[in-house]
Structure 1
């Protein structure tokens, strides 16, 4: 069923086409005539854009600019529509030309940064976002995008001041807290525990927040909380390595064999076969009941992965 808004837009397009026809047929080549025609094509471009008809929208904006090359709104919308339709280079060129006249236009800069990102030019996108925060230091949307891009290519030293600025600006999102913890850990400023705690409080259902908090708590030697969080993690994802890691903590750091042995058994039943970690547990010097633990490996030998020649072929 076509929505009322969509019907309204389609009617508007019909009216605009008639308006353009009337203007062309009834007007002479005057300033007034050109202004009316430019506005009609501009409105037509916006209407097509609202309908998602980006090719027609682009054509209408191009026609408006052919009549009046100095119309900045039409140029901006053309650049935006070009990027939305995947014509990144064309859209970027339109916006770059527009910036020559308005070098500190934040709206144009934001769309240009987005265009470069869509075109896989992440460093150029970062450069433009940084130019925006020089103009508007606490532009939260821009800082968010900038920090996400910097984190994605491991620019921890460069991103840290922007993450701190977001926190100072009152941004209390789980993602910013997580990125602060990650960056402080990578830069060896802290274990990230403070920030991972906050990230978990905000978004406790995200697996990455639980894993990050577990890692920080291990460094802090808070093993009882680590085990509690492994239970949370296993309710989200029952990976055999999570069972093994829980068992390792229970058997080595907490020395709770009543809970540790069953966790180890589940890990092996599920196919845990990281020999390096298994050897680390087997060779742990302070195991209280080493024979009992070694017996688990006899009862539940790790499942060996199939080699290529053992994988059965699919029959037609």
Structure 2
């Protein structure tokens, strides 16, 4: 039989649970970083306003000081809102659920452990839904898409012969993940270098501002403004964890490539199920490290 020119199953055909968790993760992540960015900008505005003086007359109110106080207050309100919303934790939870569902769906579709091809169809479906229910417990996801938990693409892939399933998994899962991790690692590394360069420029500006103030050229505290800017950039870099993600993603891409090199198209059903289990375990380790690095406690749910 001729091998398919395209995978029978791809990540775009993952079940509604993944689509919901993925969409929630992306939305909550954007909201969290948007709020954090606003808070840091307000702190910078407060520092800049505090370094200046703006009076209508000599005995009037210093409106720059008022602006600084208002910016500090607004930043405090935003930070309080961030804590109340718990968007950071919701982002981790939804991302973990999405990746857990993804590995579960791939295991089912290509007859990997714990859904080997020897398992009766009804029993495999029952086990899949049971594992999916376990992922859903206490998960705060607003989105509820229509569709079946086990869709036609998953069933079509599972019913295909072993050669087609192996090729589908090789192209649609392993090669796709290698490509995604390698490209994303390069993007994270580039973003990290850009932000670190901006921070370095800010430090140099601070040195110049300090020299100007020391020499009496200006009385404005530009050093404090530059310090606030550098501190904000540093806080942003720590929140984004760009460099650590770049290193982690590069390592994961190499690990998946190592696993792909061991793929044998002559594996029997049991060997293939074990291979998929090892491959998915390799991919899952990155998500576990990501969650642990972010929260110190969250991890990819066992599937």
Decide which structure has the larger Cα Rg and report it: 1
Greater RCO, CA 8 A, separation 6+:
2
> Do both share a fold (TM > 0.5)?
no
Q: TM-score range by the shorter chain?
A: under 0.3
Q: TM-score, normalised by structure 2?
A: 0.21
